[in-house]
Structures are given as C-alpha cells and as structure tokens.
Structure 1
Amino acid sequence: MSSHYSPQAGPGAGSRIAAVAGVRPERLVGNDELADSLGVSAEWIERRVGIRERRFAGPGEPLTGMGATAAAKALSAAGLAPADIDLVVLATCSMPSPMPNGAASVAALLGIPTAAAFDVNAACAGFCYGLGVADGLVRSGTSRRALVIGAERMTDWVDPADVDTATVFADGAGAAVVVRDHRTRIHPVVWGGDGEKASLVTIPDRHSRVTMSGQAVYRWVTTELVHVAREACERAGLVPAELRGFVTHQANLRMIERLARSLGATNAAVARDVVLTGNTSAASVPLALSRLIDLGEVGTGDPVLLMGFGAGLSYAAQVVTCP
C-alpha cells in the first residue's frame, strides 16, 4: 500500500527532529544471570515480558553522563555543535537527588552552560512530553535549536529480589535534536493522565524502591491508550496504515505487539528494542527509534508514531517525520 503522507505546511513555522541517537551501558545482563536469584527460569522471564537481555549502568556511568553522551552523538549526527543549542530538556524519573536538575548538569558536560535547561518527570512518557514541549518552544521562536534527552538509571531504584521489577527495568539514554522547519514534521502531541491510578507504579519515598502492578498497567495500556494513538494519527492527517514506524515505550513485548495490532499499524516497522534493552523508562522511546533507524527499518521522511506511557499514570503520543 503506497502512502500519501506529506508533512503539513501549516500556517507558520514548524519543527523537526534533525537527528536521534542512543547510548547503552557496557554491562550486559542476560536472563540467566537474574533467574537463579529470583527463583525463576530464564525462559519464564522471556515468556512473561519478552526480554532476553538488558544493560545495567556501572559506577562510572552516571545518569547525566549517559545523557550527555547520547546528546553529543545526536549533535554530531545533526552536524551541529553544542554552541548551536539554546535549550536542553531532560526527561528522567531516576535522578539520585532532587537538586540540581539533571538538564543543567548535562548542558555543562556538553559545554553549553548558558542554555535554558530543565527536567521533565513524566516517567516512561517523559521523552514524548519533552518532545512536545520542545516542539512548542521551537515553533514559537523561544528556542532556535533544542536537545530533548531521555536518560535513566532505573536499576538504582529497583529491588533486585523483586521479580516484578528486577526482570524488567534497565538503564540507558537517548537524545534528539529539534530544530525549526518550514513544515510540520513534529505533529501535535496527544497527552494526558489518570492520577486515580497513580498507585499502580510508584516509588513511595526516597528510601524506597519502585513498585509496580504490572497486570493492571498492562490492562490500562491495551484498553485505554489505543484511542490516544489513533488521535495522534488524526492530528497528523494520516491513518494508522500509513505509518512506517511504530515506536512505543518499551515496557513489555506482548503489550507492544498487541497495541500495534489493535491500532492497525499494518505497514509499520514495530520497535521491539525491549528484547535486547529492557525497560529504560524515559530513555526507551529514543533508544528504540534510534535502533529502528540504524537497522534501516525506517528511513528519512517516513511517518513514525512515538508513544510513551507509565507512572502517573501519564501518556503522550505524536507522529514525527523520521530524520
């Protein structure tokens, strides 16, 4: 089926993703390493969540350092220098302390200490929230060029004896460069939340570990969020079958595949980065998009749906033109 998708010209300036890149920690952790201590089998883990391996950050891989590395790679791919950036948005929910904000530290590591810099905490929806904010600021002329980064060290907040979270969460960072464009290549974000279900994924206090009611979250995502994806497509002026890429938060392989089927994204390359990377919360969408691009499964100009969802419960989705 041929696509008639074309980025909308719109009444004014638009924005686009100029480049996206990701970084994964060095330590690779397979299911065999986790299985014995959790009293399950490696096969059980893969069957339950679809994950074969994930990456855990070490002492020399701080959250802000991973974020800066991913951002530097994205800048290089976009042909830009740190001095070209005037806005840094860091999506994260796993900073080790509430102050200073991580974005300012990432900007300093990159050599752009005068950029506007702030964090967005919408957990696993964070990157899509950050992208929506950066799109608006670039469109308005408040920012010329922005970095949107998702970076997490989720393993700092996971109980290694909790089978529901220790088998799922991992670490990493992904980044996108957002610049102005004469066309709309980042389409309007559809976002929201259901705070009445906030207790389903929590870190109760600074001395606690993450808790998650996985089955309840699965039901919420697969029953309540398909209409969000459809609305994001409508706002981009296309139907789901015209998508060439489908990149959701990488929470669970069964969840991702069910969402793609329910939406009818029949011609889209579905991101399954969760199999080799695990659930990296706010980092998962840019990491998954970067892998699809690197594999050649999506290419420049392709319409791709991005969608994040998780703790809050928060969600956000937008169609973008692949860089």
Structure 2
Amino acid sequence: MTEIYGSRISGIAAYRPSRLVSNEELSPLTTVSPQWIEGRTGIKTRHHANDQEDLVTMSVAAGEKALVTADVDPAELDLTIVATATRRRRMPGIAPEVASRIGLPNSGAYDLNAVCAGFTYSLAMASNAVRLGEARHALVIGAERTSDWIDPEDPDTFVIFGDGAGAAVVSRSQEPGIGPAVWGSDGARHNVLGITEKADGREYVAMNGPLVYKWSTATMPDVAHRACAAAGISLREIDWFVPHQANNRIIKTLTENLGLPPERVVNDVVDTGNTSAASVPLALSRLRESGRSTPGEKVLLLGFGAGLTYAGQVVRMP
C-alpha cells in the first residue's frame, strides 16, 4: 500500500515587474478617466512587464526566491508546475525551461492552463504528488503577461490586467497543511471571458463583465463553504481569505456574502491589478511580506475565472 503523507506550503515568493502603471498613464490611451477606472475596479496601479521580463524570466525569479524562503535543496525538488494562460508560443511549455534555469536537476515539469484558477489547480496537483510520495518537494508558479493581450478599445479589460509571477514550494509534512481542492467548471459559459480575434487578425482578451460578476459572486460562496468543510473546519475558523484578485467589486461582494471581516481579506488588486493565474500567489506573498500573518494560520484560497473554472482550498501559512 502507498503511504500517504501530509503536505504544506514551505515557501512563498513573488516577482512584480519594475514598471508600475498608474490610472493617469492608462487613461489617455483609452476612453475612460482615472476616476472611472478606480471607481469601477478599485485598481490604482498595476505592473506591466518590459521586453526582458518574459514569462520564463518572471517565473524563474519568483521560483528562486520561493526556494530560498522554503530552505529547500534544489536537488530535492522533484516537480515543477507553471500555471499560465498568456504564452504566445504554443509549444513547448515553459516549465521545463524554468526548472532548468533555476537549476533543478531532478524535476519533472509541465504547464497547466486553468486561467485565473490555474494556481489553485496547480497547488492541488503538487500537493497530491507530495502526499503520494511522487515528489519530495514541488514548485508551483503562477505567471502571466496579460498586458500582451489587452486592447485600449476595450476599457473593461484594458485597465484591469497586470503582469507578474508568484511561486510556492510544496513540501512533505507530518500534519496536513494543504486541504483537499473543491473544484468545478461551467463550460457552457466559455465565451464569457477569453481570447477573441479582431477583424485584422489581432487577438485580445474580451469579457462580459456583468456576467462574470454575477457568476462569481453567486457561485463562489458555496465553493468557499465546501472547501472549508473538505478541510474539516468551518468558515468562521478561517484566519485569512485570499480570493482571485479579479477586481475590488467582486472581492468586496464575496467578502460581504461570506460574512468575513474585511480586515482579514487580502486585497492586492488595488496595487497589482488582475494578474490571472498569478493573482492568488502574489496576494498570498503580499500577506506574508506584510508581517500581518503568523505561520500556521488558516487561509482560504479561491481561484476562479475563464473557462469558466474554479477551485478552492484551505492552506496553512508558511
């Protein structure tokens, strides 16, 4: 019989591109004012990657820092998963190159595309590999360059998306530190959010914002409760809530619907924008960097977005 181990997040880190883009800088490029952008989305700034900050470079930077915070020997890192939906080159995936550049001689590697839920899906995959003994340690990275896929003629998407990468190391532990994933999808609504092609052949992100808002705020509270139940706790026992950083309106409505205290909800979207698969690890890293959290505290993660896909799980802070 295969022995089942515990798994935990042993390290978490982030990479945010150096260029910080304000609403005042974006506004002249599109059709809305800085006040409209902040009032509609809650976003004040977002990071846009430069030509040198490609997906691999950002992933490597975040992954290297996560390994340092986890204090893990690279030779014992057996699996690398990169969650991304914004790579233009269809194959190969970037995970093997990321593992090679970091210097992980024994790591299997693959990409996963569940868009905004990509990190939570990948975290579940890594946790399962560690628990089954298939990996001693696993590296999970969410990385996106959404700025490559936005169009100033569509302000609903042009002003919300940002770039970056967040990484977590998943390690074997005596006690469970990553709860079971509760996930699902609604493929009948796949056209609500995704890449579309213009008449001139250019591709960009298009979104039905009102439908995304209604779907996420109506569906995710049940997912949150089920994720807590799967972890054997109630929602009131959660110390922190880290949802996908879609926009401030969605985060605020979810917080109210769940009855959670706002001071226990991580809101990174104000400064970072919507970074798709990178948003949850970036927000989780921001929480750790802030000094507000304590190792072992219970965090509810909730990823949701295009597909439509979603996943929730409870983890312990590293």
TM-score bracket for the superposition, by shorter chain length: over 0.9
Deviation, structure 1 residue 113: 4.9
What's 2:174 paired with?
A: 182
* Equivalent position of 1:78 in the other structure: 70
Task: Supply the distance in 1 between the matched residues of 2:20 and 2:196 (Cα, whole angstroms).
Answer: 29
Matched, 1:228 2:251: no
Q: Map residues 251-266 of structure 1 onto 2, 5 A cutoff.
A: 251-266=246-261
Paired amino acid for 1:297: R
Measure, in 2, the Cα distance between the counterparts of 1:111 and 1:154. 27
8 Å CA contact 2:192, 2:211 repeated in 1:
yes
Structure 2 CA distance for aligned equivalents of residues 113 and 99 of structure 1 = 21
Q: What secondary structure, in the 3-state scheme, does the structure 1 residue paired with 2:51 have?
A: coil
**Match for 1:65 among 57, 61, 69?**
57
User: Which residue of 1 is the match for residue 287 of structure 2?
Assistant: 292
* Pairwise CA distance, 1:204: 3.4
Instruction: Please list every run of 5 or more consecutive structure 2 residues that lacks an aligned counterpart in the other structure.
Output: none
Would you say the 8 A contact 1:104–1:113 is kept in 2? no
Match runs of 1:74-153 below 5 Å: 74-153=66-145
Unaligned runs of 5+ in 1: 1-10
Alignment of 1:16 with 2:16, yes or no, is no
Matched, 1:156 2:148: yes
Given that 2:77 and 2:106 are in contact with CA atoms closer than 8 Å, whether structure 1 keeps it comes out as no
- SS of residue in 2 equivalent to 1:86: strand
Aligned to 1:309: 304
RMSD over aligned Cα, in angstroms?
1.4
Which of residues 262, 266, 270 in structure 1 aligns to 2:265?
270
1:255-284 deviations in whole A, cap 9, x for unaligned? 112112211223862111000000000000
Q: TM-score, normalised by structure 2?
A: 0.95
| Among candidates 21, 27, 35, match of residue 29 of structure 1 | 21
Residue of structure 2 in register with 1:210 after alignment:
205
1:220-276 deviation line (CA, Å, top 9, x unaligned): 000111100000011112111211110010011111121122112238621110000
Distance in 2 (CA, whole Å) between partners of 1:299 and 1:261 is 24
**For the Cα contact (< 8 Å) 1:124–1:311, is it kept in 2?**
yes
Aligned-partner Cα distance in 1 for 2:249–2:32: 19
Q: How far apart, in 1, do the equivalents of 2:192 and 2:216 lie?
A: 12
Letter in 2 for 1:276: D
Say how many residue pairs are matched.
Answer: 313
CA distance in 1 between counterparts of 2:132 and 2:97 reads: 26
Label 1:52 to 1:131 Cα distance change in 2 as closer, same or farther (>3 A). Answer: same
Amino acid at match of 2:63: A
**Cα offset, 1:215, TM superposition:** 1.0
AA partner of residue 79 (structure 2):
L
Q: TM-score, length-normalised on structure 1?
A: 0.94
Deviates more, 1:267-276 or 1:303-312: 267-276
Stretch of structure 1 that moved more, 302-311 or 236-245: 236-245
**Moved runs in structure 1, 4+ residues, more than 6 A?**
none
What is the CA-CA distance between 1:39 and the residue it aligns to? 2.3
Partner amino acid for 2:260?
A
